[in-house]
Amino acid sequence: MAEPTLAGPAVLRRSPLAHLEERLRAATVTGDRGVSLAEWPYITMVSVRAEPGSQAAARIEKALAADLPRVCGETTTAGPHTVLWLGPDEWLVVSQAEHPCLTAELAQALGGDPGSVVDVSANRTTLELSGPAAREVLEKGCALDLHPRAFGPGNAVATQVGPVPVILWQTDEAPSYRLFPRSSFADYLARWLLDAADEYARPEVTGEYARPEVT
């Protein structure tokens, strides 16, 4: 009889939205009014703080092969990493997948200078909202002006969608958006977005409303 084996952490872990995976997939709408929602779990995220223009910031930029953005809403991308501006001396480095060495590499670049490098991967999850109707879905509960004249590919800001604080990043012109909510709010936000997108799965109502005659 084979002895039982213990599952490791990688086998036991579940993403914040694993229980909604099938529902997210089933809610996908195609066509001119299409919209889809998916979770990107286990993406590496690192919070970085350093004095802009300092030697520490320069070493971090060299380690990332990307500049640290200096303007609100700006992002920079190099290879698998994108750097999002969060404040004058604060950034969020987001990798396209798990990158177990990233935090150590950036901490080494910071050295002993003032600042911090903290792995915050477990603090948030990632939702991707995409499709022709994605902007309209977000506009139901986001106060930002999301029109292309004001917000476009490469822009990322801290905002709210519905009642949930998120970092919102537009990744391309499709449009596609990545939303980074706290893990504890992810279920609520996903359900809110599914409800907001539900109308696009139904036939579009067109034409003028005909008032009934009064006799």
Q: In the prediction, which pLDDT does 208 show? A: 61
Instruction: Report, as an integer, the average pLDDT of 53-58.
Output: 96
Band (pLDDT 50/70/90 cuts) for residue 12 is confident
Q: In the prediction, which pLDDT does 212 show? A: 62
Q: In the prediction, which pLDDT does 158 show? A: 97
CB 9: neighbour CB atoms within 10 A? 6
Instruction: Report, as an integer, the average pLDDT of 135-155.
Output: 96
User: Long-range contacts: 150-159, Cβ < 8 Å, 24+?
Assistant: 151/73, 154/74, 154/75, 154/77, 155/73, 155/74, 155/75, 156/73, 156/74, 156/75, 156/84, 156/85, 157/72, 157/73, 158/86
Q: In the prediction, which pLDDT does 6 show? A: 46
pLDDT tops 90 at residue 98 = no
Structural domains of the chain ordered from first start? 16-41+125-200 (3.30.1360.120), 43-122 (3.30.70.1520)
SS3 (DSSP) at 163: coil
Distance of CA 107 to the CA centre of its chain: 24
Contact 106, 117 (CB under 8 A): yes
